[in-house]
């Protein structure tokens, strides 16, 4: 009869004979809950441009200073800047740009006033009150800077990690291959599912794991 060993000895022997798994490249859509085989650093700032945090109106420095000095501002709406628009606009004195959430802010923009905080008079907006410079502006790199670590080797790739990797523009990553595991169940009382069972016996269920 073979000599039995302790659980600790069995684990030790197993670990001594385990070799690192090979790695493979996968598209990120197929990498959920896999184990990363390399460090990943961002190659870009996220976001990579200054953008609006709200739907509102972009105003310039001079008009912002007038507001903060206690004056009321009546500004002409020059145009609307949609999210995804590539053309960079320029804010001039006495005017504002209607701007959507996520849109690139125009040059000369000192703050963005939420649409709920302005009045409308024809093609103009009326703004009152004091506003902090940079209000509602999300600066380039506020989430992640180029070169910042996104995730590390050995990390389990959760949906949150996948989202961050995708935000860096990366579509394929290096992951460890999935190990092949066989569960061995032992015992004279065990019989295979589908077989006839006698008193004192049970079906071995561990193999189905």
The pLDDT, as a whole number, for residue 21 is 84
The pLDDT, as a whole number, for residue 209 is 66
Contacts of 19 (CB under 8 A, 6+ apart): none
The pLDDT, as a whole number, for residue 192 is 82
Q: Are 173 and 40 in contact (CB under 8 A)?
A: yes
Contacts of 107 (CB under 8 A, 6+ apart): 88, 89, 90, 91
The pLDDT, as a whole number, for residue 122 is 82
Q: What is the pLDDT of residues 157-194, one digit of tens each?
A: 999 999 999 999 999 999 999 988 777 777 788 888 88
Query: In order of start, what are the domains of the chain with their CATH numbers?
Result: 20-46+144-178 (3.90.105.10), 51-138 (2.170.190.11), 179-209 (no CATH)
d(CA 23, CA 57): 50
- pLDDT, greater one: 200 or 101: 101
Contacts of 38 (CB under 8 A, 6+ apart): 23, 153, 173, 174
Tell how strand 56-60 and strand 109-114 pair up: antiparallel
**pTM here?**
0.72
């Amino acid at each position: 009869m073979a000599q039995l060993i302790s659980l600790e000895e069995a684990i030790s022997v197993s670990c001594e004979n385990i070799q690192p798994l090979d790695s493979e490249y996968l598209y990120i859509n197929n990498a959920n809950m896999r184990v990363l085989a390399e460090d990943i650093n961002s190659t870009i700032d996220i976001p990579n441009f200054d953008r609006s945090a709200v739907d509102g109106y972009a105003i310039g420095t001079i008009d912002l200073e007038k507001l903060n000095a206690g004056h009321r501002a009546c500004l002409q709406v020059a145009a609307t800047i949609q999210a995804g628009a590539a053309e960079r606009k320029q804010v001039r004195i006495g005017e504002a740009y209607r701007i959507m959430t996520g849109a690139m802010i125009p040059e000369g923009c000192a703050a963005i006033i939420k649409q709920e905080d302005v009045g409308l008079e024809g093609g103009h907006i009326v703004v009152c009150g004091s506003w902090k410079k940079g209000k509602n502006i999300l600066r380039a790199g506020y989430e992640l800077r180029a070169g910042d670590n996104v995730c590390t080797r050995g990390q389990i790739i959760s949906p949150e990690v996948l989202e961050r990797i995708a935000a860096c523009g990366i579509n394929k990553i290096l992951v460890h291959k999935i190990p092949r595991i066989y569960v061995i169940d032992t015992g004279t009382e065990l019989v295979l599912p589908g077989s006839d069972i006698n008193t004192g016996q049970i079906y071995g269920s561990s193999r189905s794991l």
